[in-house]
Amino acid sequence: MKTLEIIRTEVANNYTSTAIASMVIGATYQTDGEEQTITAGEGQTLVLVVDGVQENLVPGASYEVKEGFEIVAISIYKAGGPSAAPWSGAKEEEKVSYYFRQALLVKDGKIVDDCSIPQLIHGGSFDAAKADGITLTSNAPHFNGIILDEGTKYEIKNAKLYAKGDGSDDLSGWAAVVMADNKSVVDISDSYIETEGCIRCGLYVDNTAVVTVKDSVLYSQETPDTYDEFHGLVPAMMKRVPFALGMEGTVRTLNVMADGQGIFKDSIVVSTGWGALSCDSGTAYDICGTYCLDCDGVLSGIGTLEVAQEGKEYTTVKEVNGVKYGFTVGGSGYVTYADSGVHNRYKNVEFYSPDYIQIMGSGRSGSEYIDSYLYAEHNAFMTQQSAGGTYELTNTKVDTVDALLQIKSGAANTGFSNIIVDNCEINFSGTSTRSKDGILVELVESDDAGNPGITTYTINDHAEEAEATLSSVTECYATLKNGEYAGDIYNCIYNYRQELNVAVENAVLTGAISSSTAIHVDLEGNVVPNGTVLNAFLGSKEYDHVRYNAEQGGQNGDCLIIGRYCHTAAPMLNNPINVTLKDAKWNATGDGYLQNLTIDAMSDITADSAVTITVKSLTVGGKAYEDGSYNEGNVTIVVDSTAIEVVDNGICDAGQTYGNVAYTFYGQMEDGTLNSKAFEVKRQNYIDGKLYYSIIPAEGCSIVSTSSEGGEISKNTAGGELAIYENVIAPADGAKAMSVTAIVKGC
């Protein structure tokens, strides 16, 4: 045995920790008192292999060598950047490129020898078409295991793949254990993939690649970094979950991008914190025509996983490839995610989370759950900045604590989505500080803290200041079918007008339904005052760790207040609810305020104690009822059609950019009259901090001119997914808000 010491290195770029580790072009090392230097050739980078394992090639590192070591120069096949997220604060000249390094690169069905390190692959066999029975270990950051590119068809079987150390950018696959890209087709079976480190995916799929995972286990554990190591890590993107989502965590086990596809069968996918089955910045189902995630017989969750020990209790146990694994729910995060209009299908799955089962964002994303069991200790589902996506639950059991579905919309980020629940069992258990009966569906003012770089949010609940407005967001739908359902339904939107349509079909609903006001409450149910600042957990310097769930110095629960609203039924302003009962019964448990109520008979609504339901319109058996009070048992329905006086504020659209700059679009007639119905805005926030948009005039209207404040408008010349937008507005330096005013005529 001998000692290897790394004395110094030369790097192509030293602005960031990722570059220092991955862009080594020269190294001086010492063994047995002898100092030597190795230099990479042009277009190459260096990788350290010690006893068949990839290790960190950085100054000061020291290794006890049992069998041998080698510093290998490999060609740079794939490089990212130069790039940095707009919230990272990097100067333009410091936006670093990064080099991919990997143990095996197969391109177009051929091994790229000068980009591969076969010394890292042990046991079994491998060639350009398959790897069977191999073991691969990486103990250092920013290193990929196997990259399959350019239409490669490949099989990974009976493999054991391990990666310990931080990743670099899980939106580009940098440091993923297995990466499938550019129309590659990959089958993974009877295999085990484990990671430990920040943003280090077990599997990454991109650009029309399809990966099928059968009888396999993917397990990702969060970073073992010290406080200084974590804060010193400067990746290109995303080293922690966005605070806006109301959770903590630093790793996603899976990420499917663009029009890639992940197919999972009879497998386990677990992360200790953030996300397990994730897809991000995908291509809409309407375009690609395939499910982004298609899962059957899968156990997935946020928590810990181990080979099951006899006599030890677990949340659940599942056998894969002849091994019985025990899973224990814990930590923080979501099981699965969908955005950008992708669709996912989950059949016969078991999902467990301390926070959310699934979050859907941006675009008309959708997800189907069939014959499944879902367990969440907060809200089962949440949508944010969505544009019409639907959750469909069929023959599925859900155990949750606070809510089945939370739809976020309003001033910070408009959004609308839907849910269909058919022949399902929805249970509320545990202790909720939000509702004693549980919330089936709630449409709430978004408390989105902003882009992933924002780590604080200031509570600002102000429904009492709201005024009736014509500025509107597309309506949402909730359908409950073929079952007995218990829980409340609320709409507390107040900055815009947004309707929630509730249909109960061949079912029984027990609960309150009402327009409401809502305020944030803490984990004990106490009101969180306006002005209270919530902070993400960024590590404990005192205890030298970044583990948010550590017993000492861990997070204080601020993230869990995000989205934690308590409702009070209140007269409708901008938050109408329309309720339709068809061959259904409603057992009302509290007073309610509705816009429209349509029922087959007055006897369809019952109550165990006296309740009053105030509506703008009532239709019973096809007959419209006049203003007045109508009684049936303990139920009083008051019809009051008095119109709400509305002043048009001219706001056609609003939101905030990735750079956390608020934007507003105003419609104004030539005579100066404000008109919030003058046009629609099709838009996309992009990671460059700009807003790409097109203005679509209402029928009969035309745009005379546009002007802006706080930002500069230009014609859009970007390609790709941004090409469909006509204009782009870039915030002025230091701007916190910007606006576009369009002068219209003909409306």
Provide DSSP, 411-473.
SSS--EEEEEEES-EEEE-S--SS-SS-EEEEEEE-----STT--EEE----GGG----S-B-
Please choose, from the candidates 165, 166, 131, the residue with its C-alpha nearest in 3D space to the C-alpha of residue 146.
Answer: 131
Largest interatomic CA distance in the chain: 98
Q: Compute CA distances 330 → 39, 250, 271, 272, whole Å.
A: 46, 14, 10, 7
Q: What is the DSSP letter of 560?
A: G
Place of tokens 């949440």: 382
Using CB atoms within 10 Å of the CB of residue 452, give its burial: 0 to 12 exposed, 13 to 18 middle, 19+ buried.
buried
pLDDT reported for residue 32? 85
pLDDT reported for residue 599? 98
Q: Which amino acid appears at position 413 of this protein? A: N
Q: Compute CA distances 264 → 95, 180, 212, 367, 524, whole Å.
A: 36, 15, 6, 15, 39
Q: How many CB atoms lie within 10 A of CB 310?
A: 5
**pTM for the predicted model, two decimal places:** 0.94
Give the whole-angstrom CA distance, residue 573 versus residue 445. 14
Cβ 445 vs Cβ 478: under 8 Å: no
Cβ 157 vs Cβ 190: under 8 Å: yes
Give the whole-angstrom CA distance, residue 425 versus residue 443. 22
Q: Sheet harboring 679-685: ordered strands across?
A: 679-685, 691-697, 727-731, 711-715
Tokens linked to 707: 């002007």
Q: First vs last Cα of the chain: how many Å apart?
A: 84
Cβ 327 vs Cβ 268: under 8 Å: yes
Please choose, from the candidates 669, 735, 660, 728, the residue with its C-alpha nearest in 3D space to the C-alpha of residue 695.
Answer: 728
Q: Average pLDDT by consecutive 10-residue portion of the chain (747 residues)?
A: 96 83 94 94 96 97 96 90 62 70 98 98 98 98 97 98 94 95 98 97 97 98 94 86 93 96 98 97 89 98 98 98 97 96 97 98 94 98 93 98 96 90 96 94 92 88 93 95 98 96 98 98 96 94 93 89 97 97 98 98 98 98 98 98 91 85 94 94 85 96 96 94 93 94 94
Give the whole-angstrom CA distance, residue 24 versus residue 1. 26
Cβ 30 vs Cβ 5: under 8 Å: yes
